[in-house]
Structure 1
């Protein structure tokens, strides 16, 4: 697309994230042409809000509309059919995280992207923040040396999504806290390290809060229904070993008896850094000899980005539609994250360290 062209966007899955993608597209000067969802109420509301055609069947939408791009924001188990259907028609795809509910499904999406004239990007939006921009800026100058270890947390004190929703049903979600919020911490840690090859994972998953009758929920996330399904983990701890013995320690929880945290700490050979997912501040740690040996801690607050978070991810995608895939949030990066998720669950099931499925040739 040229800079003046408006992208004709279709949206698959018209819940909160589908509406977010549609709103961002309109605010960035593009056209929301159509949407699809199984829920007739969702279709009616979307049509009224965005003046868009709506469909119950995604293939019908693809065949009826001249789309340049599609945002896929269905529950995870349906990413594959929506993304592959678009890619087979050479339509560019922005897929919600994770890439799919299973590794096999994610690999099929990546293969479809390889065979398509369209591309697939994945909505890892935490890269679009002042803290991340400052980190990568200093990193490009060699400020940190080699990043050898990252400690990544995404912990809620209480924040289990509504029981009875697809988030807590493994057959639709593919997993629990690791798939929902851990995916962000995994991606961001790998991003800060330059996406090294991942070799082994040791992990423990737990389900300690989601099915308790005495569960306390001050934020009112939890909405149990009579036929509620909760067959996923609500927390996980993992150690991830990458090439050259670089490591990631991961803590993920929907619910925990500890303070909430989205803190990420990167340990480099020349300096280290602390930042938060989507944050505005970067703290750099190092040492010096001026006057006397000493430790230094410098905290910097970044200027607000013109397009941050979900909007920044959307802009990168929409700017690239009709051309080359954007350099961030690639399908191969998303596939690496999916391999780590798969290894976390395999390790937790086996009680042992497991090898991570190899990268694509």
Structure 2
């Protein structure tokens, strides 16, 4: 189908489903159909995109002539929608995390290995000016041997609406680790070129989600009598990779600390500082031109087209048009990230360091 617009189906028509549909339309592709169990959401999607909608994604797969599918359901339903789409030969963009459990993620990856189509996972924060700058300098050898990354994704107060699926472990598979921690883990591994991960020590906490006196200046939190909050709201972890490379992780929906999405990279020749999804790269170096001295320089006058969600959607749709599996945001990389998340939970439960890859 080289050169032709992609015929896209969307599973899960909430905010992210509509985001994928909007981006596809703006990029010149055709939103053919959507599936969601909620009638009002289907009706809204039909009106907004002029697409046919279905209650069940299986019916959409059977009835529609699609090239690709974007899956943006709650995490617990990723596996069924993705596996069925791959079974039909479609290329698939799956929302992060890959699944609600390591077992489900492994089954999805196994299916993708045998499928005609490919599965890409929507880690959209990789598509930023800061990340592209870092990778350019890294490929040129500027940082030397990267040995450690300090990864932060911290909200002072930002627990998603209680009563939504984000705070219900049955639907999400976890709390802050699988919602925003997953971005920090993936991005750190990406900056380190995805070395093999060996062991993890992690702690998860629930300090704010069930408090009656929770303070919420930006109105993220909407507690009701039916609300479920049975997940963690912060985590700290140390991830040890091959050759003694390490990642230290701090992720929080709520904590008494300033907000941060800062990543600090330590290399043998230079270091770097950049924000997740940011547009500036700061490099930190020691020089001996004249007296020994330290140099801190910031690149801030560069930009790339189509960052974030739209940039990720474009890379997916371009790969569909080209008929080639992308080497970016691959399902195997997402599986590695899923294994790290699983290890954080196992470590927190056991109180000790755990090997990555074992079943929870």
User: Does the 8 Å CA contact 1:79/1:100 hold for their aligned counterparts?
Assistant: yes
What's 1:95 paired with?
94
1: CA distance, partners of 2:303 / 2:49:
28
Report the CA distance between 1:302 and its aligned residue: 4.3
What's 1:64 paired with?
63
What's 1:42 paired with?
41
2: CA distance, partners of 1:226 / 1:245:
48
User: Does the 8 Å CA contact 1:131/1:302 hold for their aligned counterparts?
Assistant: no
User: Does the 8 Å CA contact 1:155/1:253 hold for their aligned counterparts?
Assistant: yes
- Segments of structure 1 that go 5 or more residues without pairing to the other structure are none
User: Does the 8 Å CA contact 1:166/1:173 hold for their aligned counterparts?
Assistant: yes
What's 1:327 paired with?
327
What's 1:116 paired with?
115
Report the CA distance between 1:303 and its aligned residue: 2.5
Report the CA distance between 1:304 and its aligned residue: 2.6
Alignment of 1:99-248 (within 5 A): 99-248=98-247
2: CA distance, partners of 1:220 / 1:241:
37
2: CA distance, partners of 1:265 / 1:75:
31
For residues 173-231 of structure 1, the C-alpha deviation after alignment (integer angstroms, 9 at most, x for no partner) is 00000100000000000000000000000001000000000000001000111111100
Alignment of 1:340-359 (within 5 A): 340-357=340-357
For residues 108-145 of structure 1, the C-alpha deviation after alignment (integer angstroms, 9 at most, x for no partner) is 11111111100000001111111000000000000000
2: CA distance, partners of 1:320 / 1:236:
35
2: CA distance, partners of 1:140 / 1:115:
32
TM-score (norm 1): 0.98
What's 2:271 paired with?
272
User: Does the 8 Å CA contact 1:161/1:222 hold for their aligned counterparts?
Assistant: yes
2: CA distance, partners of 1:230 / 1:350:
22
Q: How many residues align?
A: 358
2: CA distance, partners of 1:302 / 1:71:
33
What value does the CA root-mean-square deviation take over the aligned residues?
1.0
Dislocated runs of 4+, deviation >6 Å = none
From the superposition, tell whether residues 302 and 176 of structure 1 become closer, same or farther in structure 2 (CA, over 3 Å): farther
Three-state SS of the structure 2 residue aligned to 1:117 is coil
For residues 229-265 of structure 1, the C-alpha deviation after alignment (integer angstroms, 9 at most, x for no partner) is 1000000000000000000000000001011000001
1: CA distance, partners of 2:28 / 2:212:
48
For residues 45-85 of structure 1, the C-alpha deviation after alignment (integer angstroms, 9 at most, x for no partner) is 00000000000001000000011000000000000000000
Report the CA distance between 1:282 and its aligned residue: 0.3
TM-score (norm 2): 0.98
1: CA distance, partners of 2:108 / 2:47:
32
1: CA distance, partners of 2:126 / 2:153:
15
Report the CA distance between 1:325 and its aligned residue: 1.1
- Segments of structure 2 that go 5 or more residues without pairing to the other structure are none
What's 1:83 paired with?
82
Report the CA distance between 1:306 and its aligned residue: 1.3
2: CA distance, partners of 1:338 / 1:113:
16
Three-state SS of the structure 2 residue aligned to 1:5 is coil
Report the CA distance between 1:301 and its aligned residue: 0.8
For residues 290-314 of structure 1, the C-alpha deviation after alignment (integer angstroms, 9 at most, x for no partner) is 1100011001114232111111110
